[in-house]
Amino acid sequence: FTSKMLRDVPAEKTRQLTVQMMQNPQILAALQERLDGLNGSPSGYIESLPKVVKRRVNALKNLQVKCAHIEAKFYEEVHELERKYAALYQPLFDKRSDIVKAAYEPTDEECEWKADEEEELTVSKQEEMKEKAKLEEEKKDEEKEDPKGIPEFWLTVFKNVDLLSDMLQEHDEPILKHLQDIKVKFSDPGQPMSFTLEFHFEPNEFFTNAMLTKTYKMRSEPDENDPFSFDGPEIMCCTGCTIDWTKGKNVTLKTIKKKQKHKGRGTVRTVTKTVPNDSFFNFFTPPEVPENGELDEDSEAVLAADFEIGHFIRERIVPRAVLYFTGEAIEDDDDDTEVTVYCVQEGEEEADEENDPDYDPKVRPSLTTHIHTL
Protein backbone atom coordinates (compact mmCIF):
# COMPACT_ATOMS: atom_id res chain seq x y z
CA PHE A 1 0.00 0.00 0.00
CA THR A 2 1.11 3.56 -0.41
CA SER A 3 0.59 6.72 1.56
CA LYS A 4 -1.96 7.62 -1.07
CA MET A 5 -4.20 4.97 0.40
CA LEU A 6 -4.35 6.78 3.69
CA ARG A 7 -5.20 10.14 2.26
CA ASP A 8 -8.94 9.67 2.11
CA VAL A 9 -9.17 8.65 5.74
CA PRO A 10 -9.77 11.31 8.42
CA ALA A 11 -6.62 12.30 10.22
CA GLU A 12 -7.34 10.71 13.60
CA LYS A 13 -8.34 7.50 11.99
CA THR A 14 -5.20 7.58 9.92
CA ARG A 15 -3.07 7.99 12.98
CA GLN A 16 -4.74 5.06 14.67
CA LEU A 17 -4.43 2.90 11.65
CA THR A 18 -0.84 3.85 11.18
CA VAL A 19 0.00 2.95 14.74
CA GLN A 20 -1.86 -0.29 14.38
CA MET A 21 -0.09 -1.09 11.17
CA MET A 22 3.32 -0.27 12.49
CA GLN A 23 2.75 -2.72 15.29
CA ASN A 24 1.96 -5.46 12.86
CA PRO A 25 5.18 -7.01 11.62
CA GLN A 26 3.43 -8.39 8.59
CA ILE A 27 2.38 -4.96 7.44
CA LEU A 28 5.77 -3.55 8.23
CA ALA A 29 7.28 -6.21 6.05
CA ALA A 30 4.82 -5.43 3.28
CA LEU A 31 5.59 -1.74 3.58
CA GLN A 32 9.28 -2.45 3.39
CA GLU A 33 8.68 -4.44 0.27
CA ARG A 34 6.85 -1.56 -1.35
CA LEU A 35 9.63 0.78 -0.40
CA ASP A 36 12.11 -1.65 -1.87
CA GLY A 37 10.00 -1.62 -4.99
CA LEU A 38 10.52 2.13 -5.24
CA ASN A 39 14.24 1.48 -5.55
CA GLY A 40 15.41 2.92 -8.79
CA SER A 41 11.96 4.01 -9.90
CA PRO A 42 12.75 7.27 -11.63
CA SER A 43 11.24 9.98 -9.51
CA GLY A 44 13.38 12.49 -11.34
CA TYR A 45 14.20 14.17 -8.07
CA ILE A 46 17.43 12.34 -7.40
CA GLU A 47 18.51 12.84 -11.00
CA SER A 48 17.88 16.55 -10.66
CA LEU A 49 20.26 16.93 -7.73
CA PRO A 50 23.62 18.60 -8.25
CA LYS A 51 26.45 16.21 -8.88
CA VAL A 52 28.16 16.92 -5.57
CA VAL A 53 25.01 16.04 -3.67
CA LYS A 54 24.45 12.85 -5.67
CA ARG A 55 27.98 11.88 -4.78
CA ARG A 56 27.16 12.20 -1.07
CA VAL A 57 23.97 10.21 -1.49
CA ASN A 58 26.15 7.41 -2.77
CA ALA A 59 28.17 7.66 0.42
CA LEU A 60 24.94 7.19 2.40
CA LYS A 61 24.09 4.13 0.34
CA ASN A 62 27.47 2.65 1.13
CA LEU A 63 26.76 3.19 4.79
CA GLN A 64 23.46 1.42 4.26
CA VAL A 65 25.22 -1.63 2.84
CA LYS A 66 27.37 -1.73 5.97
CA CYS A 67 24.20 -1.60 8.06
CA ALA A 68 22.88 -4.64 6.21
CA HIS A 69 26.00 -6.56 7.16
CA ILE A 70 25.62 -5.62 10.81
CA GLU A 71 21.98 -6.64 10.64
CA ALA A 72 23.09 -10.03 9.36
CA LYS A 73 25.23 -10.43 12.47
CA PHE A 74 22.26 -9.42 14.59
CA TYR A 75 20.21 -12.26 13.11
CA GLU A 76 23.01 -14.70 13.69
CA GLU A 77 22.86 -13.83 17.37
CA VAL A 78 19.09 -14.19 17.33
CA HIS A 79 19.62 -17.68 15.98
CA GLU A 80 22.01 -18.42 18.85
CA LEU A 81 19.45 -17.12 21.30
CA GLU A 82 16.78 -19.30 19.76
CA ARG A 83 19.00 -22.33 20.13
CA LYS A 84 19.54 -21.50 23.77
CA TYR A 85 15.84 -21.14 24.43
CA ALA A 86 15.00 -24.26 22.44
CA ALA A 87 16.87 -26.19 25.12
CA LEU A 88 14.63 -24.65 27.78
CA TYR A 89 11.42 -25.55 25.93
CA GLN A 90 12.54 -29.09 25.12
CA PRO A 91 11.72 -30.76 28.48
CA LEU A 92 8.16 -29.42 28.18
CA PHE A 93 7.83 -30.63 24.59
CA ASP A 94 9.16 -34.02 25.70
CA LYS A 95 6.52 -34.22 28.40
CA ARG A 96 3.88 -33.24 25.85
CA SER A 97 5.06 -36.07 23.66
CA ASP A 98 5.02 -38.52 26.58
CA ILE A 99 1.42 -37.62 27.37
CA VAL A 100 0.36 -37.86 23.72
CA LYS A 101 1.88 -41.31 23.28
CA ALA A 102 0.80 -42.55 26.73
CA ALA A 103 4.31 -42.92 28.08
CA TYR A 104 3.25 -40.71 30.96
CA GLU A 105 -0.13 -40.30 32.67
CA PRO A 106 -0.52 -36.73 33.94
CA THR A 107 -1.59 -36.32 37.59
CA ASP A 108 -4.96 -34.84 38.60
CA GLU A 109 -3.19 -31.65 39.48
CA GLU A 110 -1.54 -31.44 36.09
CA CYS A 111 -4.91 -31.99 34.44
CA GLU A 112 -6.70 -29.19 36.23
CA TRP A 113 -7.69 -26.47 33.79
CA LYS A 114 -9.71 -23.41 34.64
CA ALA A 115 -12.05 -22.64 31.78
CA ASP A 116 -12.11 -19.20 30.27
CA GLU A 117 -14.14 -16.85 32.53
CA GLU A 118 -16.01 -15.34 29.62
CA GLU A 119 -17.17 -18.72 28.48
CA GLU A 120 -18.85 -19.82 31.67
CA LEU A 121 -21.81 -17.76 32.93
CA THR A 122 -25.44 -18.30 32.44
CA VAL A 123 -25.88 -18.94 28.72
CA SER A 124 -27.77 -21.99 29.76
CA LYS A 125 -26.94 -23.89 32.84
CA GLN A 126 -29.36 -26.58 31.79
CA GLU A 127 -27.64 -27.24 28.55
CA GLU A 128 -24.42 -27.49 30.41
CA MET A 129 -25.87 -30.13 32.70
CA LYS A 130 -27.15 -32.08 29.77
CA GLU A 131 -23.78 -31.83 28.11
CA LYS A 132 -22.18 -33.07 31.28
CA ALA A 133 -24.43 -36.08 31.46
CA LYS A 134 -23.71 -36.84 27.85
CA LEU A 135 -20.00 -36.53 28.38
CA GLU A 136 -20.24 -38.87 31.34
CA GLU A 137 -21.95 -41.35 29.07
CA GLU A 138 -19.31 -40.99 26.42
CA LYS A 139 -16.65 -41.35 29.00
CA LYS A 140 -18.01 -44.70 30.00
CA ASP A 141 -17.93 -45.75 26.36
CA GLU A 142 -14.41 -44.54 26.07
CA GLU A 143 -13.37 -46.42 29.11
CA LYS A 144 -14.47 -49.56 27.41
CA GLU A 145 -12.19 -48.76 24.48
CA ASP A 146 -9.50 -47.46 26.80
CA PRO A 147 -7.82 -44.93 24.52
CA LYS A 148 -4.10 -44.53 24.98
CA GLY A 149 -2.67 -41.06 25.44
CA ILE A 150 -4.24 -38.62 23.01
CA PRO A 151 -5.18 -40.62 19.92
CA GLU A 152 -4.55 -39.03 16.52
CA PHE A 153 -3.10 -35.92 18.11
CA TRP A 154 -0.80 -34.90 15.26
CA LEU A 155 -3.16 -36.10 12.55
CA THR A 156 -5.81 -33.81 14.04
CA VAL A 157 -3.35 -30.91 14.07
CA PHE A 158 -2.61 -31.57 10.40
CA LYS A 159 -6.29 -31.63 9.57
CA ASN A 160 -6.93 -28.38 11.42
CA VAL A 161 -4.28 -26.39 9.58
CA ASP A 162 -5.16 -25.53 5.99
CA LEU A 163 -1.57 -25.32 4.89
CA LEU A 164 -1.04 -28.93 5.97
CA SER A 165 -4.45 -30.41 5.25
CA ASP A 166 -4.07 -29.27 1.64
CA MET A 167 -1.24 -31.76 1.29
CA LEU A 168 -3.00 -34.52 3.15
CA GLN A 169 -4.49 -37.36 1.10
CA GLU A 170 -6.91 -39.89 2.42
CA HIS A 171 -4.33 -42.64 2.17
CA ASP A 172 -1.91 -40.56 4.30
CA GLU A 173 -4.20 -40.49 7.29
CA PRO A 174 -3.74 -44.05 8.56
CA ILE A 175 0.01 -43.43 8.42
CA LEU A 176 -0.08 -40.12 10.27
CA LYS A 177 -2.03 -41.77 13.08
CA HIS A 178 1.34 -43.22 14.01
CA LEU A 179 3.06 -39.83 14.18
CA GLN A 180 4.02 -39.28 17.83
CA ASP A 181 6.09 -36.13 17.84
CA ILE A 182 7.56 -33.39 15.71
CA LYS A 183 10.79 -31.87 16.95
CA VAL A 184 12.81 -28.91 15.73
CA LYS A 185 16.59 -29.20 15.88
CA PHE A 186 18.83 -26.21 15.21
CA SER A 187 22.24 -26.39 13.60
CA ASP A 188 25.22 -26.49 15.96
CA PRO A 189 27.11 -23.30 16.81
CA GLY A 190 29.62 -22.41 14.12
CA GLN A 191 27.83 -24.55 11.54
CA PRO A 192 25.94 -23.04 8.60
CA MET A 193 22.52 -21.90 9.79
CA SER A 194 19.81 -24.52 9.38
CA PHE A 195 17.01 -26.30 11.18
CA THR A 196 15.72 -29.85 10.97
CA LEU A 197 12.17 -31.04 11.48
CA GLU A 198 12.10 -34.53 12.95
CA PHE A 199 8.91 -36.54 12.54
CA HIS A 200 8.90 -39.37 15.08
CA PHE A 201 6.73 -42.40 14.35
CA GLU A 202 5.77 -45.38 16.44
CA PRO A 203 6.44 -48.77 14.83
CA ASN A 204 3.96 -49.20 11.99
CA GLU A 205 3.12 -51.33 9.01
CA PHE A 206 3.98 -48.65 6.43
CA PHE A 207 7.69 -48.02 6.75
CA THR A 208 10.56 -49.07 8.96
CA ASN A 209 11.94 -45.59 9.74
CA ALA A 210 11.38 -44.48 13.34
CA MET A 211 12.00 -40.92 12.24
CA LEU A 212 11.63 -38.94 9.02
CA THR A 213 13.59 -35.71 8.67
CA LYS A 214 13.48 -32.54 6.67
CA THR A 215 16.33 -30.03 6.87
CA TYR A 216 16.08 -26.38 5.83
CA LYS A 217 19.29 -24.52 5.09
CA MET A 218 19.25 -20.82 5.70
CA ARG A 219 21.37 -17.89 4.72
CA SER A 220 21.81 -14.75 6.78
CA GLU A 221 23.86 -12.63 4.45
CA PRO A 222 22.99 -9.66 2.29
CA ASP A 223 22.98 -10.54 -1.39
CA GLU A 224 25.98 -8.84 -2.97
CA ASN A 225 23.97 -7.77 -5.97
CA ASP A 226 21.01 -6.53 -3.98
CA PRO A 227 22.12 -5.74 -0.43
CA PHE A 228 19.16 -3.50 0.34
CA SER A 229 16.72 -6.35 0.01
CA PHE A 230 18.24 -8.04 3.07
CA ASP A 231 15.59 -8.62 5.66
CA GLY A 232 16.92 -11.40 7.86
CA PRO A 233 17.71 -15.05 7.20
CA GLU A 234 16.08 -16.79 4.31
CA ILE A 235 15.49 -20.45 3.67
CA MET A 236 17.60 -21.33 0.66
CA CYS A 237 17.06 -25.03 0.10
CA CYS A 238 15.91 -28.17 1.83
CA THR A 239 16.64 -31.87 1.91
CA GLY A 240 14.38 -34.75 2.87
CA CYS A 241 15.13 -38.36 3.66
CA THR A 242 14.65 -41.82 2.24
CA ILE A 243 11.51 -43.53 3.43
CA ASP A 244 11.92 -47.29 3.72
CA TRP A 245 8.42 -48.29 2.69
CA THR A 246 7.35 -51.83 3.36
CA LYS A 247 6.35 -53.73 0.26
CA GLY A 248 3.16 -52.45 -1.29
CA LYS A 249 2.79 -49.54 1.15
CA ASN A 250 4.51 -46.80 -0.83
CA VAL A 251 1.68 -44.27 -1.02
CA THR A 252 3.81 -41.89 -3.07
CA LEU A 253 3.56 -44.36 -5.95
CA LYS A 254 0.57 -45.70 -7.77
CA THR A 255 0.27 -48.19 -10.54
CA ILE A 256 -1.84 -47.30 -13.50
CA LYS A 257 -2.96 -49.40 -16.41
CA LYS A 258 -2.30 -47.96 -19.82
CA LYS A 259 -3.49 -49.12 -23.18
CA GLN A 260 -0.69 -49.26 -25.69
CA LYS A 261 -1.26 -49.54 -29.38
CA HIS A 262 1.34 -51.28 -31.48
CA LYS A 263 2.02 -48.93 -34.39
CA GLY A 264 2.69 -51.55 -37.04
CA ARG A 265 0.24 -54.27 -36.10
CA GLY A 266 -2.46 -52.10 -34.60
CA THR A 267 -2.85 -54.49 -31.68
CA VAL A 268 -3.69 -53.06 -28.28
CA ARG A 269 -2.22 -54.30 -25.05
CA THR A 270 -2.48 -53.11 -21.48
CA VAL A 271 0.67 -52.26 -19.58
CA THR A 272 0.99 -51.28 -15.95
CA LYS A 273 3.16 -48.36 -15.02
CA THR A 274 4.10 -46.86 -11.68
CA VAL A 275 3.70 -43.10 -11.48
CA PRO A 276 4.00 -40.60 -8.62
CA ASN A 277 0.93 -40.30 -6.43
CA ASP A 278 -0.15 -37.27 -4.43
CA SER A 279 0.80 -37.67 -0.80
CA PHE A 280 1.97 -35.69 2.18
CA PHE A 281 4.99 -37.97 2.19
CA ASN A 282 6.28 -36.33 -0.98
CA PHE A 283 7.27 -33.64 1.51
CA PHE A 284 10.34 -35.78 2.18
CA THR A 285 11.49 -35.74 -1.44
CA PRO A 286 11.53 -32.04 -2.33
CA PRO A 287 12.90 -30.88 -5.68
CA GLU A 288 16.61 -30.17 -5.54
CA VAL A 289 17.86 -26.68 -6.18
CA PRO A 290 20.54 -27.12 -8.86
CA GLU A 291 23.91 -25.36 -8.51
CA ASN A 292 23.02 -22.68 -11.03
CA GLY A 293 19.80 -21.98 -9.11
CA GLU A 294 17.64 -22.51 -12.19
CA LEU A 295 14.40 -24.32 -11.53
CA ASP A 296 11.42 -25.15 -13.68
CA GLU A 297 8.16 -23.49 -12.79
CA ASP A 298 6.61 -26.56 -11.15
CA SER A 299 9.56 -27.19 -8.90
CA GLU A 300 9.65 -23.54 -8.02
CA ALA A 301 6.03 -23.58 -6.92
CA VAL A 302 6.55 -26.81 -4.97
CA LEU A 303 9.57 -25.38 -3.20
CA ALA A 304 7.95 -22.05 -2.39
CA ALA A 305 5.06 -23.90 -0.75
CA ASP A 306 7.47 -26.28 0.92
CA PHE A 307 9.50 -23.47 2.51
CA GLU A 308 6.34 -21.90 3.78
CA ILE A 309 5.21 -25.17 5.33
CA GLY A 310 8.59 -25.89 6.90
CA HIS A 311 8.69 -22.42 8.35
CA PHE A 312 5.14 -22.70 9.64
CA ILE A 313 5.74 -26.07 11.33
CA ARG A 314 8.82 -24.71 13.04
CA GLU A 315 7.43 -21.32 14.02
CA ARG A 316 3.87 -22.12 14.92
CA ILE A 317 2.92 -25.78 14.99
CA VAL A 318 5.67 -27.26 17.11
CA PRO A 319 5.68 -24.49 19.73
CA ARG A 320 1.90 -24.61 20.27
CA ALA A 321 0.66 -27.91 18.94
CA VAL A 322 -2.09 -28.30 21.53
CA LEU A 323 -3.74 -25.08 20.38
CA TYR A 324 -3.85 -26.35 16.81
CA PHE A 325 -5.27 -29.61 18.12
CA THR A 326 -8.09 -27.79 19.93
CA GLY A 327 -8.45 -25.15 17.20
CA GLU A 328 -7.72 -22.21 19.50
CA ALA A 329 -4.63 -21.13 17.59
CA ILE A 330 -6.63 -21.08 14.40
CA GLU A 331 -9.13 -18.59 15.80
CA ASP A 332 -6.29 -16.35 16.89
CA ASP A 333 -5.01 -16.30 13.37
CA ASP A 334 -8.35 -15.08 12.11
CA ASP A 335 -8.03 -12.07 14.38
CA ASP A 336 -4.80 -11.16 12.70
CA THR A 337 -6.45 -11.17 9.33
CA GLU A 338 -8.89 -8.50 10.38
CA VAL A 339 -6.12 -6.05 11.06
CA THR A 340 -4.66 -6.75 7.69
CA VAL A 341 -7.94 -6.05 5.96
CA TYR A 342 -7.91 -2.39 7.03
CA CYS A 343 -5.00 -1.28 5.02
CA VAL A 344 -5.81 -2.91 1.74
CA GLN A 345 -9.06 -1.17 1.06
CA GLU A 346 -8.09 0.18 -2.28
CA GLY A 347 -9.28 -2.67 -4.38
CA GLU A 348 -5.86 -4.05 -5.09
CA GLU A 349 -6.05 -6.37 -2.18
CA GLU A 350 -6.91 -9.52 -4.03
CA ALA A 351 -4.09 -9.21 -6.48
CA ASP A 352 -1.79 -8.39 -3.62
CA GLU A 353 -2.63 -11.45 -1.63
CA GLU A 354 -2.23 -13.68 -4.58
CA ASN A 355 0.91 -12.13 -5.90
CA ASP A 356 2.67 -11.85 -2.64
CA PRO A 357 4.18 -15.25 -1.98
CA ASP A 358 4.79 -14.28 1.61
CA TYR A 359 1.20 -13.38 2.19
CA ASP A 360 -0.51 -15.76 4.49
CA PRO A 361 -2.59 -14.52 7.36
CA LYS A 362 -1.54 -17.57 9.31
CA VAL A 363 2.15 -16.94 8.95
CA ARG A 364 3.41 -14.18 11.12
CA PRO A 365 6.79 -13.32 9.76
CA SER A 366 9.20 -14.27 12.45
CA LEU A 367 12.08 -12.25 13.58
CA THR A 368 14.40 -14.83 12.31
CA THR A 369 13.38 -16.57 9.13
CA HIS A 370 11.92 -15.33 5.94
CA ILE A 371 10.65 -17.48 3.24
CA HIS A 372 12.95 -17.20 0.31
CA THR A 373 11.07 -16.09 -2.74
CA LEU A 374 12.48 -18.10 -5.53
Ligand X SMILES: *[C@@H]1O[C@H](CO)[C@@H](O)[C@H](O)[C@H]1NC(C)=O
Sites of contact with ligand X (CB under 6 A): 169, 171, 245, 250-254, 276-278
Q: Which amino acid is at 306?
A: D
DSSP type of residue 359:
-
User: Using the 8-state DSSP alphabet, how is residue 317 labeled?
Assistant: I
Minimum CB distance to ligand X smaller for 280 or for 312: 280
- The whole-angstrom separation of Cα 312 and Cα 304 is 12
For the residues of 101-127, what is the DSSP string, one character each? TTSS---HHHH--PPPTTT-SSTTHHH
Minimum gap (Å) between residue 174 Cβ and ligand X: 10
Considering beta carbons, is residue 192 or 276 the nearer one to ligand X? Answer: 276
Max CA-CA distance within the chain?
Answer: 86
Nearest distance from residue 317's CB to ligand X, in Å?
Answer: 24
Taking the least distance from each CB to ligand X, the nearer of 228 and 245 is 245
d(CA 198, CA 215): 9
What is the closest distance, in whole angstroms, from the C-beta atom of residue 256 to ligand X in the complex? 10
CB of 254 vs ligand X, minimal distance in Å: 4
CA distance 314 to 363: 11
Ranked by CB distance to ligand X, the top (closest) residue is: 252
Specify whether the CB–CB gap between 172 and 199 falls below 8 A.
no
Nearest partner of 256 among 270, 235, 268, 273, judged by Cα: 273
Residue from 178, 181, 184 nearest 207 by CA: 178
Length of the chain, in residues = 374
* Residue 128 vs 288, nearer CB to ligand X: 288
Instruction: Please identify, using beta-carbon distances, which residue of 147 and 276 lies nearer to ligand X.
Output: 276
Residue 141 or 170 with smaller CB distance to ligand X: 170
Minimum CB–partner distance for residue 43 and ligand X (Å): 52
Taking the complex as a whole, the smallest distance from the CB of residue 277 to ligand X amounts, in Å, to 4
| Beta carbon nearer to ligand X, 96 or 214 | 214
C-beta of 238: minimal distance to ligand X in Å? 17
Work out the angle at residue 41's Cα, subtended by the Cα atoms of residues 36 and 42, and round it to the nearest 5 degrees. 150
